[in-house]
Chain A
């Protein structure tokens, strides 16, 4: 009987057989739905697990690694940072406002479920070119959704990046990272411990939201205008989320929680089975006690509903009334829906009948695991041979500079981040627009730095380097503020893993991330895999997005990212003829080809050490990462942001376009007070970081050697006008 159903639910025949063996009988409908949801790619990581095991997850600061709702890093002084990144790309492609909004809600609950107050959001986004109407619709919708939700709940959106590439047209990439803060002794774990403890469902009532959404929406390729998947899109309720945050934090602070878990993909089934499995326990739940938004929901619907703004709390019976009172105070519903048992089974009843009875651990931890076939794509070798460094530059350096600085990838994203509240909570020392965001820990001189990064062109040309560069650049961004990179979370955005070239790119990216994390001493504390980002023949660039966390011991000593007048300009690191996958090659030559820049992780680490030490010793005034668009863009951005010109000589005897636009890694542009130049040079030499003194800051013009010069205000206009002008087309047309 189950054969027809299991396939419709996305389970293979082998997976269905496995369930029968595990249970010793046929699963009923509700049980099958539970397994389908929990064993989906989204929840079980069945295609990615074998590769993810190779990532380094331990380090002296890591309190909680992958496997829980979010990773936790020790900040010292009894404080912990909780952080995680997740994708909400599939829902956003169908309904950008609500898709992005509910993505924000979900990641916030992940952080909240560790007992942490969410203190910052970062949103790495990838879209198709803005010349197309649909991509403008997606960008404005996603940004509106993030703003609508994040702004309403009082969590500042402080960073992220927005990039554009044709492969992200049909499948926009919408990732959201949340950073939270908790006292170490108030951390809550997602564990259903203690036989007889009660399970309370807190927050919004349960409706037919996202039924099967996990397996249908996240685990199958998006088909154009798929009517079938539409009802799975949900409406976010930021107001309910805000109340949920305040109520859960009060519960955690008063020590009233044994465990806490959010309800996300696979809803109640996931929350109960995972928290029970982690504690080696079981659970009995009474589905009649679940507050419903719609009458007469079936057992499988209640068990797998993904209604938003709900949390599952594990509570000692003696605390039940106090917990209910706290929920009432915040205007939230709460219902005791079950209790922890000692037999390891997840048993659900509806109208007195047992409707599901399976081992909790079989749902949570015994999903299938695939070692899918892998093969590099055949076209990649030809692309490698087409090295842009050998192409004759079709335009001169000034024209190329104008095009690169004004290209949508490089241009200012003010249009986006001015739509986000970056100030609420009052601790934003550095908001959006710089290398990394910096959030002060209240009542302390310590601060957190956070950055996200991922270069899809690099990922497409060499996924190993794409992964490694994402880590290196995110760490460099954080180090440019003078912060010590400490740990990462990652969101791996890929196509259909059943295609060998996608699986190969995934494995290579993970290998690159692992090597870079090991070399840079930044373990992986968790993350998310988003597969099936493709429609028809079009798959997204292999895009591993890395969210890096850094720590500043004294925020007053952080480095700025803007030039100040009358300072010496240095380029740290070496520049090679590396234009493969560069912004220059795409914008000027119109090609994405060659090999990405090489990456020497020892050099990279030496650069970070130098930046951190120079900041602590107050040797440098500002530092800015040199990456997309190369040295020319790094100099221009630092000048524009500081409204400060400069005159520089280009390093080495490289051709002008190479010196200006090469994207060689492990470089940064630094400005140093003249009186400290000698000490800075000594520090750089001791750290083994090559440096070149390029010139001085000051005046209203940017002077690039004897090549060209441009007024700071003019460069600023180029940098600022691209996105608003592209988005204005929309209003004119629509």
Chain B
């Protein structure tokens, strides 16, 4: 039995407009921060998975990330910290 903690980072695909990122970027100079570029906003999701093996756990996270956490039409995702076993 494996219990693992994962982090999924969901971001807009490169090339797609990121209105949030651009608006934040545009606001920065007025607040005194110059030279900050390429602001992109995404989502960060943490989850714990119980499964028979590590591979299976990772597979589940990938499935969750692909089918629920992201919309493949506009977003891509990265899975982080799979080494951090909790149980």
Contact = CB atoms under 8 A, between A and B. Distances in A.
B15, B17, B72: most-surrounded residue (chain A CB, <10 A)? B17
Contact of B74 (A204, A233, A237, A331): A233
A293 interface: yes
A202 B72 CA distance: 31
Contacts of A233: 73-74
A293 B12 CA distance: 15
B34 interface: no
A236 B16 CA distance: 10
B73 A94 contact: yes
B23 A235 contact: no
Interface residues of A, number: 23
B15 A207 contact: yes
Interface in A65-101: 94-95, 98
Given A235-B12, A331-B26, A307 B17 contact: yes
A235 B73 contact: no
Interface in A644-692: none
B71 interface: yes
B13, B22, B73: most-surrounded residue (chain A CB, <10 A)? B73
B19 interface: yes
A234 interface: yes
Contacts of B12: 235
Interface of B: 12-13, 15-19, 22-23, 26, 68, 71-74
Contacts of A708: none
Contacts of A208: 15
A165 interface: no
Contacts of A231: 13, 15
A331 B27 CA distance: 10
A204 B21 CA distance: 13
7 contacts: A95-B71, A95-B73, A98-B74, A207-B15, A233-B74, A331-B26, A734-B68
Given A209-B17, A239-B19, A734-B68, 9 more contacts: A94-B73, A207-B17, A230-B74, A231-B13, A235-B12, A235-B16, A235-B74, A237-B19, A239-B23
Nearest to B12: A235
A308 interface: yes
Contacts of A204: 17
A483 to B, nearest CB: 38
Contacts of A238: 19
Interface in A704-734: 734
B17 A95 contact: no
B12 to A, nearest CB: 7
B31 to A, nearest CB: 14
A289 interface: no
Interface in A206-254: 207-209, 230-231, 233-240
Nearest to A96: B71
Nearest to A233: B73
A294 interface: yes
A235 B17 contact: yes
Contact of B17 (A230, A237, A331, A734): A237
Contacts of B15: 207-208, 231, 294
Nearest to A98: B74
Nearest to B18: A235
A622 to B, nearest CB: 44
A235 B21 CA distance: 12
A216 to B, nearest CB: 14
A230 B26 CA distance: 28
Contacts of B17: 204, 207, 209, 234-235, 237, 293, 307-308
B25 to A, nearest CB: 12
B19 A235 contact: yes
Given A235-B12, A331-B26, A240 B74 contact: no
A213 to B, nearest CB: 13
Nearest to B13: A231
A95 B19 contact: no
Contacts of A307: 17
B23 A230 contact: no
B20 to A, nearest CB: 9
Contacts of A95: 71, 73-74
Nearest to A236: B19
Contacts of B72: 230
